[in-house]
A and B are shown apart, each in its own frame.
Chain A
């Protein structure tokens, strides 16, 4: 293991452990679960469709972690955004519903961002609080009921639809990852995000507006969680307070396994995308293996632990 890690580091292939892990787990399931239909087109495309929301959330989280902050609240943001969109869709158009949902996500993200960047509160505590707060909001505005989404255009555009054969969920995933990657890797803003997470003091004296960066990464993460909410609402044709609730561990694991530094200074959007697919594949494989839910949770937890440990060992020094 050490030798492989060293080899990868030498060639600056920090993200590639996730690709190796992906291939290894894929091959394992392909062989073991061949008779259970793991390799069928239907099952594989299901994996991709099911991971769309978590991949979009992961893109936002890459920015936050790279900037040296954390967001624990994105699951609650996803739920609130989906619910707000569902309410808006009762009376208004699909466009209005989508704008309301994304807007809710951005607004909550901006609240996180303001508290962290301008009031200088630690992001861990702020987002832990807003995680609970907006989980409560999601429950109270829906009375614990599921809100149906009946707008056909919305459902097609964000959920079950397709453009020339490509499912819209796949298109959203590709768009989010492509735009995220471009902004993260090729713009001045992206460079300032990693610099801030690397050394905030050095960034500050180098003229980087560190507070603004912190505000923006949390707002972006809120926006991504909002989009994830729309994808859930579109796919399930309903919005409920439970949406996104169980994604916290999955998304953080996906991002870390994908080569983003837990304490800032380095990140990879493409890696996070592969990490997210890996998590989805893991879920799917464990279900096909017929493990009871409790065992699934235990095995998944253990595998995530190992994967994260390997990634951190390999990329941190």
Chain B
């Protein structure tokens, strides 16, 4: 997979020597990573290893202390989340970025509401209709696209967050523990949605605590430990034991 992708051209995303400190604390240290279209790279590591921080750097929430980010070979300075989204980068955050008291369809278009001419007023009907179609396509099983998000289950909410990323992503989808709060059946469904993203030729970075899931979904695995990059392995050429010892630093 990786070799084919490499032959196919340049990486969608290239991180070079990314460094991030919070005050005195080094959260991410000298990380380099290339992501190609149509592949899933898993980012693993213990709690506090810097996974979420790295993801927030790519999505423009945090500025790296130093290092460079290239998108399609062009260096980008991500000032904020809005700029990252304009570049086709979508994120499903660990702490869900949904507005709880708003209906599902408004969350789907949060910050990017559809307007109707000539007055530029909100086109609620169209947003609702598009959301309905997407919800059907991804088989999300929510009571209504007009339900408030706070009235939905964890799995349904996660489904909405991923559906939103699917709707908007053009290049890159970042997922931070997308199934952490879900039951077995819901996890299965979310995993199949993630696989379908791959078929859309998006590059996907997946943070997960479940090594089973990582081995089911990913093409490559990148291991972080206390902010430092321990190594990258092809999923087919490694096993759980190796990854576990890379994560813990033991063995």
In the bound complex, how far is the Cα of B75 from the Cα of A301, in angstroms?
62
Q: Is A198 an interface residue (CB 8 A)?
A: yes
Contact check, B61 vs A198: say whether CB atoms are below 8 A apart. Answer: no
Q: Which residue of A lies closest to B61 (CB)?
A: A205
In the bound complex, how far is the Cα of B122 from the Cα of A202, in angstroms?
20
Contact check, B106 vs A191: say whether CB atoms are below 8 A apart. Answer: yes
Contact check, B121 vs A198: say whether CB atoms are below 8 A apart. Answer: no
Contact check, A205 vs B121: say whether CB atoms are below 8 A apart. Answer: no
| Shortest Cβ gap from A204 to chain B (Å) | 7
Contact check, B101 vs A203: say whether CB atoms are below 8 A apart. Answer: no
In the bound complex, how far is the Cα of B128 from the Cα of A10, in angstroms?
20
Known: A206-B97, A207-B81, A261-B101. A187 touches B110 (CB 8 A): no
Contact check, B81 vs A204: say whether CB atoms are below 8 A apart. Answer: yes
Q: Write out the residue numbers on chain A whose beta carbons fall within 8 Å of the beta carbon of B19.
A: none
Contact check, B98 vs A199: say whether CB atoms are below 8 A apart. Answer: yes
Known: A187-B120, A202-B110. A194 touches B102 (CB 8 A): yes
Size class of the A contact interface (CB-based, 8 Å): 20 to 34
Task: Give residues 227-246 of B contacting A (CB, 8 Å).
Answer: none
Contact check, B99 vs A202: say whether CB atoms are below 8 A apart. Answer: yes
Contact check, A265 vs B100: say whether CB atoms are below 8 A apart. Answer: yes
Known: A186-B122, A187-B121, A203-B111. A265 touches B82 (CB 8 A): no
Q: Which residue of B lies closest to A195 (CB)?
A: B99
Q: Write out the residue numbers on chain B whose beta carbons fall within 8 Å of the beta carbon of A195.
A: 99, 102, 106, 110-111
Mask of B79-97 contacts with A, CB within 8 angstroms, 1/0: 0111001000001010111
Decide if the interface of chain B is mainly helix, strand, loop or mixed.
Answer: loop
Q: Write out the residue numbers on chain B whose beta carbons fall within 8 Å of the beta carbon of A198.
A: 99-102
Q: Which residue of A lies closest to B81 (CB)?
A: A205
Mask of A228-271 contacts with B, CB within 8 angstroms, 1/0: 00000000000000000000000000000000010001100000
9 closest Cβ pairs, A-B complex? A207-B82, A206-B111, A207-B111, A198-B99, A265-B101, A202-B97, A206-B110, A186-B121, A205-B81
Q: Write out the residue numbers on chain B whose beta carbons fall within 8 Å of the beta carbon of A191.
A: 106, 113, 122
Q: Is B201 an interface residue (CB 8 A)?
A: no
Q: Is B7 an interface residue (CB 8 A)?
A: no
In the bound complex, how far is the Cα of B148 from the Cα of A265, in angstroms?
12
Q: Is A188 an interface residue (CB 8 A)?
A: yes
| Shortest Cβ gap from A256 to chain B (Å) | 16
| Shortest Cβ gap from A262 to chain B (Å) | 13
In the bound complex, how far is the Cα of B110 from the Cα of A208, in angstroms?
8
Q: Which residue of B lies closest to A12 (CB)?
A: B146
Mask of B194-215 contacts with A, CB within 8 angstroms, 1/0: 0000000000000000000000
In the bound complex, how far is the Cα of B99 from the Cα of A265, in angstroms?
8
Q: Is A192 an interface residue (CB 8 A)?
A: yes
| Shortest Cβ gap from A141 to chain B (Å) | 41
Q: Write out the residue numbers on chain A whose beta carbons fall within 8 Å of the beta carbon of B97.
A: 199, 201-202, 205-206
| Shortest Cβ gap from A194 to chain B (Å) | 7
Task: Give residues 184-230 of A contacting B (CB, 8 Å).
Answer: 186-188, 190-192, 194-195, 198-199, 201-209
Q: Is B112 an interface residue (CB 8 A)?
A: yes
Q: List 5 A-B contacts (CB under 8 A).
A: A188-B113, A192-B111, A202-B96, A207-B111, A209-B82
Task: Give residues 113-137 of B contacting A (CB, 8 Å).
Answer: 113, 115, 120-122
Q: Which residue of B lies closest to A182 (CB)?
A: B121
In the bound complex, how far is the Cα of B85 from the Cα of A195, in angstroms?
18
Contact check, A199 vs B122: say whether CB atoms are below 8 A apart. Answer: no
In the bound complex, how far is the Cα of B124 from the Cα of A190, in angstroms?
13
In the bound complex, how far is the Cα of B127 from the Cα of A186, in angstroms?
13
Known: A186-B122, A191-B106. A205 touches B101 (CB 8 A): no
Q: Write out the residue numbers on chain B whose beta carbons fall within 8 Å of the beta carbon of A206.
A: 81, 97, 110-112
Q: Write out the residue numbers on chain A whose beta carbons fall within 8 Å of the beta carbon of B85.
A: 207
Known: A207-B85, A207-B111, A207-B112. A187 touches B122 (CB 8 A): yes
Q: Is B59 an interface residue (CB 8 A)?
A: yes
In the bound complex, how far is the Cα of B184 from the Cα of A229, in angstroms?
61
Q: Write out the residue numbers on chain B whose beta carbons fall within 8 Å of the beta carbon of A203.
A: 99, 110-111
Q: Write out the residue numbers on chain A whose beta carbons fall within 8 Å of the beta carbon of B106.
A: 191, 195
Q: Write out the residue numbers on chain A whose beta carbons fall within 8 Å of the beta carbon of B120.
A: 187-188
Contact check, A208 vs B121: say whether CB atoms are below 8 A apart. Answer: no
Q: Write out the residue numbers on chain A whose beta carbons fall within 8 Å of the beta carbon of B96.
A: 202
In the bound complex, how far is the Cα of B100 from the Cα of A193, in angstroms?
14
| Shortest Cβ gap from A111 to chain B (Å) | 26
| Shortest Cβ gap from A50 to chain B (Å) | 33
Q: Write out the residue numbers on chain A whose beta carbons fall within 8 Å of the beta carbon of B100.
A: 198-199, 265
| Shortest Cβ gap from A185 to chain B (Å) | 8
List 20 other contacts, CB 8 Å, given A186-B122, A205-B91. A186-B121, A187-B120, A187-B122, A188-B113, A188-B120, A188-B122, A194-B99, A195-B110, A198-B99, A198-B102, A199-B97, A203-B99, A205-B81, A205-B97, A206-B111, A207-B112, A261-B101, A265-B101, A265-B102, A317-B150
